[in-house]
Amino acid sequence: MKLATYLADGTARTGIIVGETLIDTGLDGTMIDLIARWDELKPDLEAKAAAGGGVPLATVKLCSPVLRPGKIFAIGLNYADHVAESKMGTPERQVWFTKAQTSVNGPFDPILIAKTTTTADYEVEMVAVIGKRGKHIPAHRAHEHVFGYCVGNDVTERLWQHSTPQWSLGKSFDTHAPMGPWLTTADEIADPHAIDIRCWVNGELRQSSNTKHLVFNLWQQIEHLSVGMTLEPGDVIFTGTPGGIGAAMDPRRFLAPGDIVRCEIEQLGAIEGAMAAEG
The pLDDT tens digits for 150-172 are 999 999 999 999 899 889 999 99
Task: Label residue 83 by pLDDT band (50, 70, 90).
Answer: confident
Q: What percent of the chain has pLDDT over 70?
A: 100
**Is the residue at 145 inside a domain?**
yes
Contacts of 206 (CB under 8 A, 6+ apart): 122, 199, 200, 244, 245, 246
Alpha helices in 27-69 (DSSP H): 31-36, 38-51
Q: What is the separation of C-alpha 204 from the centre of its chain, rounded to a whole number of angstroms?
A: 21
pLDDT tens column, 26-56: 999 999 999 999 999 999 999 999 999 999 9
The answer to whether residues 148 and 91 belong to one domain is: yes
**Is the residue at 146 inside a domain?**
yes
Please give the DSSP secondary-structure letter assigned to residue 70: S
The answer to whether residues 157 and 41 belong to one domain is: no
Mean pLDDT of 222-227: 98
Question: What distance separates the 2 farthest-apart alpha carbons in the chain?
Answer: 54
Q: Among residues 16, 36, 62, which one ends one of the domains? A: 62
The answer to whether residues 13 and 89 belong to one domain is: no
Question: Number of folded domains in the chain?
Answer: 2
The pTM for the full model equals 0.96
Strands 269-277 and 260-265 turn out to be antiparallel
Q: Among residues 15, 39, 62, which one ends one of the domains? A: 62
**Is the residue at 231 inside a domain?**
yes
Write the CA distances from 119 to 103, 162, 176, 228, 244, integer angstroms: 17, 11, 13, 33, 15
Q: What percent of the chain has pLDDT over 90?
A: 92
Q: What is the separation of C-alpha 85 from the centre of its chain, rounded to a whole number of angstroms?
A: 22
Amino acid making up residue 70? G
**Residues 197/78, Cβ–Cβ less than 8 Å:** no
The answer to whether residues 213 and 240 belong to one domain is: yes
Residue 206's SS3 state is: strand
Please give the DSSP secondary-structure letter assigned to residue 166: -
Residue 105's SS3 state is: strand
Q: Among residues 44, 62, 80, which one ends one of the domains? A: 62
User: Domain range spanning residue 36?
Assistant: 2-62
pLDDT at 244 over 80: yes
